[in-house]
Amino acid sequence: MPSHYAEPEVMQVRSHRRQDVARALAWLAGFSAVALLVVPKGLSIFAALMLVATCVALPEAWRSARERVPRAVKGLTLAVLVVLAMSAFSAWASGANLSALDNVSRCLLLPWCAWLAWVTRVRVSCLWYGALAGLLVAFVLSIMETWSGAPRAGGEANPIVFANAVLVLLVVAVFARPARTGFSMQLLLALIVALAVVAITLSGSRGALPGLGLVLLMLFVGGAPQHRWRRLAMVSGLFAALFVALWTVPWLSTQFRLDQVHADVSGYAGDQVDQPISARMGLLTVAWGAFRSAPLAGVGVGGFAQRVDDSRYCQQAPRHFCGLEHAHNDLAQWGATMGIGGIAALLLLYGAPLMIAASQVRRLNPDVPVGAAWTAGMLVAVYLISGLTQSMFSHALSASAYVVIVGLLLGCALTLLPAPDRPSKRS
Residue-by-residue DSSP string for 329-369: SHHHHHHHHHHHHHHHHHHHHHHHHHHHHHHHHHHH--SSS
**pLDDT interval class at 9 (50, 70, 90):** low
Q: What are phi and psi of 272, to 5 degrees?
A: -90, 110
Instruction: State the average pLDDT over residues 303-309.
Output: 86
Peptide bond into 70 cis (omega under 30): no
* Contacts (Cβ under 8 Å, ≥6 apart) of 416: 360, 364, 371, 372, 422
Q: Roughly how many angstroms between the first and final C-alpha of the chain, as a whole number?
A: 26
Best-predicted range by mean pLDDT (140-144, 182-186, 219-223, 302-306): 140-144
Higher pLDDT, 67 or 332: 332
The one-character DSSP state at 70 is: P
Quick check: 130 pLDDT over 80? yes
Query: Among 161-175, 274-288, 374-388, which stretch is predicted with the lowest mean pLDDT?
Result: 274-288
Instruction: State the average pLDDT over residues 321-329.
Output: 84
With contact defined as beta carbons under 8 Å apart, do 23 and 120 qualify?
yes
Three-point CA angle 53, 375, 381, nearest 5°: 120
Higher pLDDT, 112 or 260: 112
Asked whether residue 54 is domain-assigned, the answer is: yes
- Of the chain, the percentage scoring pLDDT greater than 90 comes to 46
Asked whether residue 149 is domain-assigned, the answer is: yes
With contact defined as beta carbons under 8 Å apart, do 264 and 277 qualify?
yes
* Contacts (Cβ under 8 Å, ≥6 apart) of 287: 304, 327, 329, 332, 333, 335, 336
The one-character DSSP state at 207 is: T
**The pLDDT of residue 152:** 85
Peptide bond into 418 cis (omega under 30): no
Higher pLDDT, 280 or 79: 79
**The pLDDT of residue 5:** 46
**Over 220-273, what HEC string results?**
HHCCCCCCHHHHHHHHHHHHHHHHHHHHHCHHHHHHCCHHHHHHHHHHHCCCCC
Quick check: 427 pLDDT over 50? no
**pLDDT interval class at 418 (50, 70, 90):** low
Asked whether residue 358 is domain-assigned, the answer is: yes
Three-state SS for 67? coil
Query: How many CB atoms sit inside 10 A of residue 241's CB?
Result: 10
Query: Among 148-157, 250-259, 409-418, which stretch is predicted with the lowest mean pLDDT?
Result: 250-259
CA–CA separation, 403 and 349 (whole Å): 9
Domain housing 21? 7-258+326-414
Three-state SS for 325? coil
- What is the distance, to the nearest Å, from the Cα of residue 135 to the centroid of all Cα atoms in its chain? 15
Asked whether residue 274 is domain-assigned, the answer is: no
Look up residue 118 and give its amino acid.
W
Asked whether residue 14 is domain-assigned, the answer is: yes
Asked whether residue 45 is domain-assigned, the answer is: yes
Three-state SS for 195? helix
Asked whether residue 32 is domain-assigned, the answer is: yes
> With 0-12 CB in 10 A as exposed, 13-18 as middle and 19+ as buried, what is 346?
buried
- Taken as a whole, the chain contains a residue count of 427
With contact defined as beta carbons under 8 Å apart, do 74 and 114 qualify?
no
**The pLDDT of residue 363:** 82
Higher pLDDT, 383 or 61: 383
Q: Total domain count for the chain?
A: 1
Q: What are the residue ranges of helices labelled H in 272-415?
A: 276-293, 304-310, 330-364, 372-386, 396-414
Look up residue 205 and give its amino acid.
S
With contact defined as beta carbons under 8 Å apart, do 304 and 336 qualify?
yes
CA–CA separation, 64 and 52 (whole Å): 19
Q: Which of 330, 373, 335, 66 is nearest to 207 (CA)?
A: 330
Q: How many CA atoms lie within 13 A of 259 on its CB side?
A: 9
With contact defined as beta carbons under 8 Å apart, do 35 and 137 qualify?
yes
